[in-house]
Amino acid sequence: MIDSMTPIAVLGAGKVGQALALRLHEAGFHVWFGVRSAPGVRDEGAPKRLMAEPAPEPEELPVPEVPRLGIHDAVRHAGVVFVALPAAAARDVLAEAPLPSGVIVVDCTNPVRWDNGPVLDPPAEGSMAAHLAAALPSARVVKAFNHFGAEIQREPGMAHGPAEAYVAGDDAAAKADVIALANTLGFTGRDAGPLRNAALLEAMAVLWIHLATVGGQGREFAFRQDGR
């Protein structure tokens, strides 16, 4: 079970990282960012290149309520690690991080390139989540929170009810925990099946990006399962 005592690290403090970290913080979870650079952040034992970027000015720092640690220090004692990094960087960052055995890794990334619109560009394993799972055998990788924009991650309330958050994973307990977490955060968590279905969720994200950009629909929508 993921509860308010579970240490949660959000890797990346960009659009997705900020949205999810603030949502988690406001819901009472014990959350911090893992970032490669920030004023005053030391990351003992981290490879030098992870600290190579210049630090932002303090006034530019996002979400002041959520503490920032170096990536190594952020993940060292985490029970859950959200991956809100560019797909191209995620595997190397995680492979070098001291993840606790059994940690739940929530992969929010999307492997997308642009060619007059978004194009799915998955790694050889078929999805980013499978790619991360292959590199992190002691972690429990779950795909979630990738198939709508950061605005929805920040505020999941929609016109006809909570945004639906599809969750795919092979570890039943980890997947159930992330579905329950999604519900606690104000989404409707939905079981999307095994981790191989992460490929479908990443394709779903490409459709969302296409509709939001080329399709001209804007970013304030999410997919909803309907029925009768």
Decide: is 17 part of the binding site for ligand NAP (CB under 6 A). yes
Decide: is 93 part of the binding site for ligand NAP (CB under 6 A). yes
Task: Tell me how far, at minimum, the Cβ of 107 lies from ligand NAP, in Å.
Answer: 9
The CA distance from 91 to 109, in Å, is 11
Question: Contacting ligand NAP (CB under 6 A), which of 79, 118, 122, 149?
Answer: 149
Residues in the chain: 228
Strands 80-83 and 7-11: parallel
Contact 142, 105 (CB under 8 A): yes
Task: Tell me how far, at minimum, the Cβ of 205 lies from ligand NAP, in Å.
Answer: 6
Binding mask 40-79 for ligand NAP (x = CB under 6 A): ----------x--x--------------------------
Decide: is 178 part of the binding site for ligand NAP (CB under 6 A). no
The CA distance from 226 to 15, in Å, is 29
Task: Tell me how far, at minimum, the Cβ of 146 lies from ligand NAP, in Å.
Answer: 5
Decide: is 89 part of the binding site for ligand NAP (CB under 6 A). yes
Q: Which amino acid is at 62?
A: P
The pairs formed by 160-165 with CB atoms below 8 angstroms and a separation of 24 or more are 160/224, 161/188, 161/224, 162/186, 162/187, 162/188, 163/187, 163/188, 163/222, 163/224, 164/188, 164/189, 164/190, 164/222, 164/223, 164/224, 164/225, 165/189, 165/190
Stretch touching ligand NAP by CB under 6 A, among 2-10, 11-19, 136-144, 163-171: 11-19
Decide: is 127 part of the binding site for ligand NAP (CB under 6 A). no
Task: Tell me how far, at minimum, the Cβ of 15 lies from ligand NAP, in Å.
Answer: 4
Task: Tell me how far, at minimum, the Cβ of 61 lies from ligand NAP, in Å.
Answer: 10
Decide: is 13 part of the binding site for ligand NAP (CB under 6 A). yes
